[in-house]
Amino acid sequence: MKSCLCIFLLFVVLSSNLFSQGRRRNFRQHEVGFMVGGAYYIGDLNPRKQFNLTQPAAGAFYRFTPNYRYAFRAGINWGNIMGDDSQSDDADQVQRNLNFKSQIIEYNIIAEFNFLEYRISNDKYKFTSYLFLGIDVFNFKPRANLGNKWTDLEPLHTEGQVKGYKLTQVSIPFGIGAKMNVSKQVGIGLEWGPRKTFTDYLDDVSGTYPDWETTQAFNKNTVKFTDRSKNASNNVNKMRGNPRTKDWYFFFGITLNIKLNFKAPPCYSYNH
């Protein structure tokens, strides 16, 4: 995933010359938009598979477009992510036998860079692909299912942490999309966007199995959710996850973009 981010940033730099050529093509356009699609994650319970166990997602945003080549938007997205070792093709994951789900709510500020000149209501510039990059604040709360009951995992300190991890974090959204006009007031689009996070606990899995005899976080309920492996051997201090990599989550979907009309008040003249 690091290579994806590097390539994306390179595209932004290479595209900057194109954007500068359109500086004189300025205007002011305001839009509201809505997204319907899916969310998924990549981490310790799903190391590689894109779109694996996709869950429903939705969002809303406000976009300000001052130029044919770029735009800025602020929005909110909601979705669910999940992972399940029992769905893996890897025998070690199946043996580990962990699962989780989490609701994600994010608030983002994003810049868009159009490859082609684009404007809703202008038939001459009615389609473009684009890149986007921004920053967001998101909230998550991993839960696990044991005996048909979903339980919050962060308070359990399942890896023997003295302090729990923060459930509100910052991430970097970036990605690709395409948008086109369908009328003078409305555009539609497609978008896919990874979120680079700085936490390894979206799934509550990161390090090693703790030694409960020497940790202060011991309680019977915690032990049940920490080690659910199918073998009967002692897993103390063995790897439970991969602490060298951070978790990612993704949003993708179809967008509906509606142009807002802010008309100036009429100017009247009178003949005397």
pTM over 0.75: yes
19 pLDDT above the threshold of 50: no
Asked, for residue 87, whether it belongs to a domain, the answer is: yes
Instruction: Count other C-beta atoms under 10 Å from residue 10's C-beta.
Output: 10
Of 181, 195, 190, nearest to 65 by C-alpha is 181
Within a domain: 102 = yes
Q: What is the pLDDT of residue 213?
A: 74
Residue 239 belongs to what domain range?
A: 2-145+152-260
Residue 195 resides in a domain: yes
The answer to whether 228 and 96 are in contact (CB under 8 A) is yes
Could you read off the pLDDT of 92-127 as tens digits, one per residue? 999 999 999 999 999 999 999 999 999 998 889 999
Question: What integer is the mean pLDDT of 33-50?
Answer: 97
CATH code of the domain in which 135 resides: 2.40.160.20
20-24, 246-250, 256-260: least confidently modelled range:
20-24
**Residue 123 placed within a domain:** yes
CA distance 42 to 247: 6
229 alpha carbon, distance to own chain's centre: 30
Residue 267 lies in a domain: no
136 within 8 A of 198, measured Cβ to Cβ: no
What pLDDT was estimated at residue 192? 98
User: Is residue 9 predicted with pLDDT exceeding 80?
Assistant: no
Question: pLDDT digit string (tens) for 224-248?
Answer: 899 888 875 788 889 999 999 999 9
Q: Which of 154, 152, 242 is nearest to 200 (CA)?
A: 242
Distance CA 135, CA 239 (A): 32
Q: Which residues contact 90 (CB under 8 A, 6 or more apart)?
A: none
Asked which of 7-16, 31-40, 179-188, 240-249 is least confident by mean pLDDT, the reply is: 7-16
Average pLDDT of the segment spanning 42-69: 96
**Domain-located, residue 198:** yes
The mean pLDDT of 130-154, rounded to a whole number, is 93
Give the closest residue to 228 by CA, choosing from 100, 142, 41: 100
49 Cβ contact partners less than 8 Å away, ≥ 6 residues apart: 42
Please tell me the predicted confidence (pLDDT) of residue 208: 92
Instruction: Round to whole Å and give the CA distance between 37 and 55.
Output: 8
**Residue 232 has what pLDDT?**
59
Q: What is the 3-class SS of 55-77, one letter each residue?
A: EEEEEEEEEEEEECCEEEEEEEE
In the predicted structure, residue 71 carries a pLDDT above the cut 80: yes
Q: Taking residues 245-261, report their average pLDDT.
A: 96
Mean pLDDT of the chain: 87
Assigned domain for 109 exists = yes
Residue 186 tokens read as 């409305």
- pLDDT at position 4: 56
Among the residue ranges 189-203, 207-221, 236-250, the one predicted with the least confidence is 207-221
Q: How many domains does the chain have?
A: 1
DSSP H or E run through 172: strand 168-181
Site of tokens 């477009």: 65
Residue 184 per-residue DSSP state: S
For the chain, the farthest-separated pair of C-alpha atoms sits apart, in whole angstroms, at 100
Pairing label, strands 127-139, 143-145: unpaired
67-105 core/surface letters (b: 16 or more CB in 10 A; e: else): bbbbbebebebbbbbbbbbeebeeeebeebebbbbbebe
pLDDT over 70 at 10, yes or no? no
Percent of the chain residues topping a pLDDT of 70: 85
The total number of residues written for the chain in this structure:
272
Between CA 271 and CA 181 the distance in angstroms is 43
124 within a domain of the structure (yes/no): yes
Residue 170 reports pLDDT greater than 70: yes
d(CA 54, CA 82): 8
